[in-house]
Amino acid sequence: MRRHWFLPETPDVIGTLSRQAEVTVTGLTAMVAWACGTGTGAPVREAEHQADAIRRELSGQLRVAFSTPVDQEDLFTLSERLDMVLNTAKNVLREAEALELEPDPALADMAAIALDVLRELAAALPSLAADPDAATAHADAAVAAERGMEKRYRAAMHDSLRNTDLQTSVNRREIYRRMLELGEAEVRVADRVWYAVVKEG
């Protein structure tokens, strides 16, 4: 018989999810430093390992929790989508390294926007149960900020056409696309915040 039938547990699942978001913020902060030429990819990878451990912790909490302030499926999905954000950031670095491509101002700009988006998402999560209106306001701000990344992406793609080195131009466009995927992954987190709030309402 399941353990929580005898001993109900109420782990702080929102707190654990928020910790995962904060580690993800740390990872993207390191990514911005890399994109600006003042850091390396190592802290991004370290943050990804830390976030994976927190995600496993949350999964364990969801298994034993008698009840949760937000639907368990939504919490699991939010954690999964946060994980995808950090994995995508790590993959941007990996691909840039594989292509021997140094970051440029466009990449730095997009990384900074991605960090701004993520900060809004991280602010949304603690409010999921306590203040749903605040949670959705932060989610809306995240989506609005991500539109800035799309605009910067289009400008960067246009500018890359001026590069006379065809291979470098192609490589840069590929990295820009990966960065746009990072923004899209963040929007999926915002969408799930909205879904979780609507469903609870």
Average pLDDT estimate for 153-159: 90
Per-residue pLDDT of 44-57, as tens digits, reads 999 999 999 999 99
The model's pTM: 0.91
Reported as a pLDDT band with limits 50, 70 and 90, residue 144 is very high
CA dist., res. 196 & res. 192, Å (int):
6
Alpha-carbon gap, residue 201 to 182, rounded angstroms: 29
The arithmetic mean of pLDDT across residues 135-163, rounded, is: 92
CB 19 within 8 A of CB 55: no
6-26 average pLDDT score: 89
pLDDT score for 18: 97
d(CA 34, CA 92): 11
- Give pLDDT, residue 154: 93
- Alpha helices by DSSP H, the chain: 13-35, 42-64, 72-98, 105-124, 132-160, 166-200
Instruction: Answer for the pair 22, 102: CB distance below 8 angstroms, yes or no.
Output: no
| Residue 125 near residue 135 (C-beta atoms within 8 A) | yes
Taking all residues of the chain, what is their mean pLDDT, rounded to a whole number? 92
Q: Give SS3 for 149.
A: helix
Number of residues written out for the chain: 201
